[in-house]
Structure 1
Amino acid sequence: MREIRGRYGQHKILKAEPGISMHLLPADVLTPLTFSDFLMKYKFIIIKPLFGPQEVRIIASDDGIELIDDEQIFHFQNKDQAYEYITEHICKGKNYVIQALLTGPTTLSYFYFTLHRESAEANWKVVKSTTAAETSVPDRVKGLVKLWKLKILLLFAAKKLGAAFPKCHTVVMKVAKSPEGKYWLTDTILHDRNSKWSQYHSLHRKRALRPFLPATDLCTKKTLFAFLNTYSKVVIKPCVGQQGQGIVKISATGDATFEVHEMQGKLIKTDYDELFEYIFEQYLSQKDYIVQQLISLAKINGCPFDIRVITQNVEDDGWIVTGVIVKVAAKGYFISNRAGNLLTLEKALSSAEIGISVENAGKWIEIITQKASSRLNQNIGELSIIGFDIGIDDKGEIWVIEGNYVPSLSMFYMFDNNEIHERISYYIKKYKKSD
């Protein structure tokens, strides 16, 4: 099943439709035979894993084979040498896909289009277009007819993938555009319910929740630069991750340099190209990432804090808040996944001295998380418990950072007041009995 969800499985589904296949590039599973066959037919080749953003470019010529991996260039005299290197140093026992490019990769402009549907029965919509590099998404005036046809193509492709993967409600499609105006659908990435990118669009579709969501986009060279220009401080997060792993804070400093804050460590990059090269090599080449406006969280003794809110789906009452606890980040950390202290909301807000009362904070947190829970349940279905990370900034504004569908409850058990943990456990048991 995992192979079917992968790149080649999706490619086969789309290739079966004539209206889509004409916009697909030649692709196959990487084997010695397909590698040899593609080298005979095409000059430009890309090798990708079944899952993940890694790409290895290959250029074949009379002088040999050039392989580009993470901006490192390797030269081989023949295909056997090249394939041996690929299997030993790149694939490492995993399955890969080989794809041909019908023109030079440097002549192409790449765009990401995000399509989302509100439920398995709802229609797909193009909800976001994201540029990959310095180029911009084609405007409404130039190529209007082609853009209309491209949108039809994307919606048709999403419909076919959605039928094959009914639990997937967000898909990202990578489109390449040639200088002549030819479009190719070069990649499709499914974002399931655990993807932060999918969750963002699920929540963003509800107008009442939009003011409480940090600005978010897929992380590319263009979007990271744009976000740093707009907000000066951002975070990048893996679309699928947990316990704060892989989350990085990036700050544009006053002297045109950039500070990268990872866990407790910090380093300086002297310009944007150096910054992006580092971010790409360490993070973006490994996983799909989002970039997000950094929320200036309120602090206690210089340490930022956020609020873990547990909501549970109770048969007669709908979604209710059953647990609230404040997590104070450990010294030197910018996120609270490494909590240095656990507090009640009352104690945290009195210590932070920000412009919102405990009563108003509690009321708004309850309203927001109940609306968010209802929206996510509508999109995903079959949810009984959600753990939200809620932020309050230094101005007293409330933000939805993210929701977790399998939240850890250990912090409530470790908390001095065990009553919260008992209440959460009561509804968990009640829900299981009703099943």
Structure 2
Amino acid sequence: MNQYQILSSDPYICHHLVETNLFSKSSLFSCLQKYTSVTLKPAFGKGDITIHAVKDHFQIIAPHDDTMVRNKELLYQYLIQNKLKQKYYIIQPSSSCQTFGKSPHHYYMTVHRNTPETKWNYLFKTKKNHHNDPISQKVLQQMNELVIQVATKLGKAFSKCNTIVIEIIVDSNDHIWISDSILHFPISKWSQYHTLSTNQSLAPYIPKTDLLTKETMKEFLKEFHQIIIKPCVGQHGKGIIEITRKDQRNYEIHFERRKFSNPSFEATYHYIKETYLSQKYYIIQQKLHLTSIQGCPIDIRVITQKNESSWEVTGKLVKVAARGYFITNAAQKLIPLAEALATHSISQAEIEQLESEIKHISLLAATQLEAGKPHIQIIGFDIGLTDRKKIWIIEGNYIPDISMFFQLKDKTIYWKIIKGA
């Protein structure tokens, strides 16, 4: 409600806000008098619950739950006893209710600034639903102007936030509605993606990325056939899923060592939505086909540390994924970078060139990320390398695990990092 209250104080923005109330018995009953469908949202995080009025009954749709109750009183009791896990929830008309017409456009719009001192820029429009009818240029321009105003307003209240996602609904009369605003602080992978990709020198090293929705999942699978989804906020590889489109009737989901197939895109998305997307915000990326050692993918961990006024690389090693895993967080082996590159029949000159390029982009990325997160002293980068010697920045970690360097036979790098920290 805090963000809603901030936005509702603006005389222009307030006319675009979807009606929002703090959940209570009276606000629930009042909304159901006005709307055929409402959504409950936790004050923090995800976990939406949608309620549809169906004749004399109410249908409750939540992750792993589809329940029908007879009246409002039973509905309220069911929600209190079974569904509402947080202290505070808000209630809004859902995007499918009659207020927005039969087929509204639904988007996530991302605005970003590199530092609290710079201006906000509209960067990304992510589709939440499929729509055949395009939006007019006039409405698009109004949307762009509106989200910049929203970000400017919220940015003053949340000075440490440099990326904001604004959920927009455009109804059948072309009125623009704001149904939510999601703050992405520097720890968010979505914020980090924009911080890095807005630097022209770093952009070629960043894999194609978007927010995960049904539409982006469909588009990415069509373009790449194999994709990765990751929680916006998370570490140690938790919640990272690989999805492969084998053909129209075979979609494979790979999580840790487990693999299973679904017969259609709809079934695959339903599983992802129920199991993961209903709990957290996710990004979607093209799958990077990393080089491997004995059939196991590898990536490179690079430690960068701030030394007085400049950044320096203090450690590099290669993580070899455990057999059956597609990510290296479950590493079976840790080896020096030069040793790993030597196993690929790469000449000494090529090794030196790759190491130089990895060092250059790591330092450039550290400087770029520092602008949005002042006072940071250490960043660990996961760097990908393909068989064609293409380098990718997978992500930066603000609290990198340096203990892995102690596992190397030569402890020199470990003690150098400790000294630098």
> Which interval holds the TM-score relative to the shorter structure?
over 0.9
1:327 has 2:319 as partner = yes
1:120 has 2:122 as partner = no
Aligned-partner Cα distance in 1 for 2:226–2:277: 18
Give the AA of the match of 2:392: W
What is the correspondence of 1:135-154 to structure 2 with a 5 Å cutoff?
A: 135=131, 143-154=136-147
Larger CA deviation: 356-365 vs 286-295: 356-365
Structure 2 stretches of 5 or more lacking a match? Answer: none
Q: 2:275 aligns with which of 273, 276, 282?
A: 282
Give the AA of the match of 1:113: M
Structure-2 residue corresponding to 1:368: 361
Structure-1 residue corresponding to 2:167: 174
Structure 1 stretches of 5 or more lacking a match? Answer: 1-7, 429-435
Larger CA deviation: 67-76 vs 180-189: 67-76
What's the offset of the Cα at 1:109?
2.2
What's the offset of the Cα at 1:213?
0.6
What is the correspondence of 1:30-429 to structure 2 with a 5 Å cutoff?
A: 30-60=23-53, 63-70=56-63, 72-101=65-94, 103=98, 107-135=103-131, 143-254=136-247, 256-316=249-309, 318-353=310-345, 357-428=350-421
Contact 1:299–1:352 (CA under 8 A) maintained in structure 2: no
- State the secondary structure of the residue aligned to 1:154: helix
Aligned-partner Cα distance in 1 for 2:346–2:246: 26
Give the AA of the match of 1:268: S
Aligned-partner Cα distance in 2 for 1:115–1:197: 11
Residues 178-211 of structure 1: per-residue CA shift (max 9 Å, x gap): 1221211111100011100000000011000011
Q: So what's the TM-score if we normalise by structure 1?
A: 0.92
Contact 2:42–2:86 (CA under 8 A) maintained in structure 1: no
Contact 1:298–1:352 (CA under 8 A) maintained in structure 2: no
What's the offset of the Cα at 1:163?
0.4
What's the offset of the Cα at 1:291?
0.5
What's the offset of the Cα at 1:84?
1.2
Contact 1:306–1:328 (CA under 8 A) maintained in structure 2: yes
Contact 2:248–2:265 (CA under 8 A) maintained in structure 1: no
Contact 1:216–1:290 (CA under 8 A) maintained in structure 2: yes
Larger CA deviation: 185-194 vs 246-255: 246-255
Aligned-partner Cα distance in 2 for 1:423–1:375: 23
Aligned-partner Cα distance in 2 for 1:13–1:295: 41
Number of residue pairs the alignment of both structures matches: 417
How high is the sequence identity, in percent, across the aligned residues?
Answer: 37
- State the secondary structure of the residue aligned to 2:67: strand
- State the secondary structure of the residue aligned to 1:253: strand
Residues 328-385 of structure 1: per-residue CA shift (max 9 Å, x gap): 0011100000010000111111123468822111100100001000111112211110
Aligned-partner Cα distance in 2 for 1:314–1:384: 8
Q: So what's the TM-score if we normalise by structure 2?
A: 0.95
Aligned-partner Cα distance in 1 for 2:354–2:385: 9
Contact 2:109–2:125 (CA under 8 A) maintained in structure 1: yes
